[in-house]
Amino acid sequence: MGLLSKKDSKLILDPLADNNPITIQVLGICSALAITAQLKPSIVMAISVVFVLSVGNVVISLMRNIIPSKIRIIVQLIVVATLVIIVDQVLKAFAYSLSKELSVFIGLIITNCIIMGRFEAFALGNGPWKSFLDGIGNAAGYGLILIIVGFFRELLGSGTLFGFKVLGDSVEKTGLYAIGYENNGFMVLPPMALIVVGLIIWVQRSRNKELIED
Amino acid sequence: MGLKQNLHSLREKYKGTKMAPAFNALHTFLYTPNDTAHGGTHIKAADDLKRTMNTVIMALIPCLIFGMFNAGYQHYVAAGEIEAVTSGFFSSEFWTLQNFSLGFWKVLPILAISYGVGLGVEFLFAVIKGHEVEEGYLVTGMLVPLIVPIDIPLWMLVVAVVFGVVIGKEVFGGTGMNILNPALTIRAFLFFAYPTWMSGDKVWVEGAVERTREIANGSTADAISGETILGSLAQSHGVDYSVMDMFFGFIPGSIGETSTLLILLGGLFLIFTKIGSWRIMLSSVIGALVMGYIFNLVVAAGWITDTSKFYGLMSTEFWHHLLIGGIAFGIVYMATDPVTASQTNKGKWIYGFLIGFVSIMIRVFNPAYPEGVMLAILLMNVFAPTIDHYVVQGNVKGRLKRAKIKTA
């Protein structure tokens, strides 16, 4: 991290692990449950949120001294909504099937608590460069969990990764399926996503006991 | 040196080490410990957790044995090798060595996996967390083989048992702390994860799945299948079994759930030994009957005709619902689980009634879930603390009211 000072790199690295928005702050759970049945939508969602949060953080940070504090929530909402519409339109133009699959959840990025949370807690009080790094870090922390959950759910639930049949063909009975393995249908259902997130939280906290709160 | 002495010295040897709980568990399972506590208050009671568990297991043994006979019987009847029973519960066609040995060798691995894997997980957690092994799994391990289809692949059972014990019980803090019944958590996991092995007309009869595969590969053997009664009613097909068959249990179903007669005896045994709550059992039965009767009335009023997809199950005579499917088994052995049920007496009535009521409702309205009792019990497990809370609050309010009247 020669490019960044120690303080700056902390802004990015902290939310990846010890201050992760999903596993530590338990924010943004709804989308983490809804779109992680496959790996590809998880990654697209992660990228979208990285874009919205980093750019949004910079915009809010630049305007922080001229936003009247009484109407700051409305201003923040307009910024997020604009960015989300950009993401939505880009997806519709260049990845229509994916945009169909993610359906309403791209629009619902607006309501993702992580975004408003970072605007309020960080961008309103810090400069654009720091806010940019904070946005990248938090969105990446969110995306990281999404990708981990998506990886396990797609692998165990459908036997594929990015749609490739990595475990063999379940209809033709090749690979693992030849010896009797079967996909776990529970993995595709949202409740299992919650349990997978719970397991990640468990693993993380048993590796780092300081994270356990009473 | 006898076994007891051996175990005792082993226990002494491992005292204070990480493995100590594992040896303690074995030692106290087989023998009463020969050391006594010093100082403090001692409570002497005839029933402890172990005795409670053993009583339930005793009540389950007849169902297990019957299940073994029935597994063989269903296979040979479906394959056309023997005749259906004709002469009551002690029919000679049923109680044959041939039936038993087929069932025995199919059920034994399931039983062994259930106990082996489940206790393995419990021992592991006890060693990691450094507490004593709890007896909670003894009953669960016996329940699991009784509520799965005979042809369940064993590796699926391993996955489900690990899931059920870890997610259903250990994450909450082990025996006595779990919200959901662990055995039903295991079954629910299997049901949602591998639905093709938990429902349909192929899994309830030993060998039916394999036979289908052989036929697909060009074998000329006859296909065998056995739809459960609920399955055929959900599709509004007729039922081939007499009411006595249903009551005695000569019907396809999960291994130990078919014989309402033996479940009834087991239930009476549990009530007599005061292990199972008669309030829950009775109110569940009432709940099921009421819901079934309402459906009968709806049919009688002509709101539902035989063109409706609900007709088959709705028109089933209300008390037949208790004889078919797993509802009797669920009510007697699972709804009464003292950990996950309501604790207050009034709460038990509400809890039980809703289990019966919701079971039949799910059964009728959702053909994708042919047996509703599993989901009904899990649902009410979640609500049990809430029910207790309001019962207790109601009691507090009532007492305060009386106190106020007196002072006024």
> What's the CA gap between A97 and A99, in Å, rounded?
5
The residue in chain A having the minimum alpha-carbon distance to the alpha carbon of residue B168 is: A195
B246: pLDDT strictly greater than 90:
no
A210 lies in a domain?
Answer: no
**pLDDT in the model for residue A3:** 67
Q: Give percent of chain B above pLDDT 70.
A: 90
A14 lies in a domain?
Answer: no
Chain A to chain B Cβ contacts (< 8 Å): 23
A95 lies in a domain?
Answer: yes
> What's the CA gap between A194 and A149, in Å, rounded?
9
A213 lies in a domain?
Answer: no
A145: pLDDT strictly greater than 50:
yes
B167 interfaces chain A, CB cutoff of 8 Å: yes
> Residue B175 is inside which H or E element, if any?
none
The residue in chain B having the minimum alpha-carbon distance to the alpha carbon of residue A184 is: B193
> What's the CA gap between B144 and B114, in Å, rounded?
7
Q: What is the secondary structure of B339-380 as a DSSP string?
A: TTS--SHHHHHHHHHHHHHHHHHHHHH-TTSS--HHHHHHHH
B159 interfaces chain A, CB cutoff of 8 Å: yes
**pLDDT in the model for residue B380:** 94
> What's the CA gap between B372 and B363, in Å, rounded?
5
Look over chain A and give the mean of its residue pLDDT values, rounded to a whole number: 86
A199 lies in a domain?
Answer: yes
**pLDDT in the model for residue B41:** 66
> What's the CA gap between A85 and A64, in Å, rounded?
22
A50: pLDDT strictly greater than 80:
yes
> What's the CA gap between B349 and B342, in Å, rounded?
9
The residue in chain A having the minimum alpha-carbon distance to the alpha carbon of residue B171 is: A202
The residue in chain A having the minimum alpha-carbon distance to the alpha carbon of residue B163 is: A195
pLDDT tens for each residue of A1-46? 456 777 788 888 888 877 888 888 888 888 888 888 888 889 988 9
Mutate: best of A158, A184, A192, partner B, most B CBs <10 A = A184
> What's the CA gap between A24 and B25, in Å, rounded?
36
**pLDDT in the model for residue B387:** 94
B54: pLDDT strictly greater than 80:
yes
| Residues of chain A found within 8 Å of residue B193, distances taken between Cβ atoms | 184-187
pLDDT bin (cut points 50, 70, 90) of residue B11 is: confident
Q: Å from A186 to nearest chain B CA? A: 4
Model-wide pTM > 0.90: no
| Residues of chain A found within 8 Å of residue B196, distances taken between Cβ atoms | 182
B193 vs A185, A198, A202: nearest CB = A185
The residue in chain B having the minimum alpha-carbon distance to the alpha carbon of residue A195 is: B167
A185 and B156: CB-CB below 8 Å? no
What mean pLDDT is predicted for residues B378-405? Answer: 91
**pLDDT in the model for residue B35:** 65
**pLDDT in the model for residue B42:** 65
A40 lies in a domain?
Answer: yes
| Residues of chain A found within 8 Å of residue B153, distances taken between Cβ atoms | 180, 182
A6 lies in a domain?
Answer: no
B264: pLDDT strictly greater than 60:
yes
pLDDT tens for each residue of B353-388? 999 999 999 888 877 777 789 999 999 999 999 999
What mean pLDDT is predicted for residues A183-194? Answer: 88
pLDDT tens for each residue of B117-162? 999 998 888 888 877 777 778 889 999 999 998 888 899 999 999 9
Structure tokens at B130: 């450094």
A22-56: b or e for each residue (b if 16 or more CB lie within 10 Å)? Answer: bbbbebbbebbbbbbbbbbbbbbbbebbbbbbbbb
Amino acid found at A100: K
**Helix, coil or strand: residue B131:** coil
**pLDDT in the model for residue A1:** 46
A8 lies in a domain?
Answer: no
The residue in chain A having the minimum alpha-carbon distance to the alpha carbon of residue B167 is: A195
**pLDDT in the model for residue A57:** 92
B155 and A198: CB-CB below 8 Å? no
**pLDDT in the model for residue B394:** 92
The residue in chain B having the minimum alpha-carbon distance to the alpha carbon of residue A156 is: B193
**B272 alpha-carbon distance from chain centroid:** 20
What range defines the domain where residue A142 resides?
A: 21-205
pLDDT tens for each residue of B315-348? 888 888 888 888 999 999 999 988 889 999 999 9
| Residues of chain A found within 8 Å of residue B197, distances taken between Cβ atoms | 182
B95: pLDDT strictly greater than 60:
yes
What mean pLDDT is predicted for residues B305-313? Answer: 77
A182 vs B189, B192, B194: nearest CB = B194
B369 interfaces chain A, CB cutoff of 8 Å: no
| Helix-then-strand count for chain B, H and E | 16, 0
Taking the CA atoms of residue A144, residue A147, residue A149 and residue A152 in that order, the dihedral angle to the nearest 10 degrees is -130
Which residues of chain A are at the B interface, by a Cβ-Cβ cutoff of 8 Å? 180-182, 184-187, 189, 195, 198, 202
**pLDDT in the model for residue B268:** 93
pLDDT tens for each residue of A110-133? 888 888 888 888 888 888 898 999
Q: Secondary structure of chain A in the HEC alphabet?
A: CCCCCHHHHHHHHHHHCCCCCCCCCCCCHHHHHHCCCCHHHHHHHHHHHHHHHHHHHHHHHHHCCCCCHHHHHHHHHHHHHHHHHHHHHHHHHHCHHHHHHHCHHHHHHHHCHHHHHHHHHCHHHCCHHHHHHHHHHHHHHHHHHHHHHHHHHHHHHHCCECCECCCCCCCCCCHHHHHCCCCCHHHHCHHHHHHHHHHHHHHHHHHCHHHCCC
Q: CA triplet B207, B208, B211: central angle to 5 degrees?
A: 85
Angstrom CA distances, B171 to A196, B125, B382, stand at 13, 10, 16
Look over chain B and give the mean of its residue pLDDT values, rounded to a whole number: 84
> What's the CA gap between A160 and B201, in Å, rounded?
29
> What's the CA gap between B96 and B181, in Å, rounded?
35
Q: Give percent of chain A above pLDDT 90.
A: 28
ipTM for this prediction: 0.84
pLDDT tens for each residue of B60-85? 999 999 999 988 888 888 887 787 77
| Residues of chain B found within 8 Å of residue A189, distances taken between Cβ atoms | 192
Number of domains in chain A: 1
> In terms of C-beta distances under 8 Å and separation of at least 24 residues, what long-range contacts does B336-339 make, across chains too?
B336/B270, B336/B276, B336/B277, B336/B280, B336/B281, B337/B181, B338/B52, B338/B277, B339/B136, B339/B175, B339/B176, B339/B177, B339/B178, B339/B181
What mean pLDDT is predicted for residues A73-85? Answer: 91
DSSP annotation of B334: I
B192 and A195: CB-CB below 8 Å? no
**pLDDT in the model for residue A52:** 92
Check if the beta carbon of residue B195 is closer than 8 Å to that of residue B367.
Answer: no
A182 and B171: CB-CB below 8 Å? no
**pLDDT in the model for residue A4:** 72
Instruction: Report the first-to-last Cα separation within chain A, whole angstroms.
Output: 35
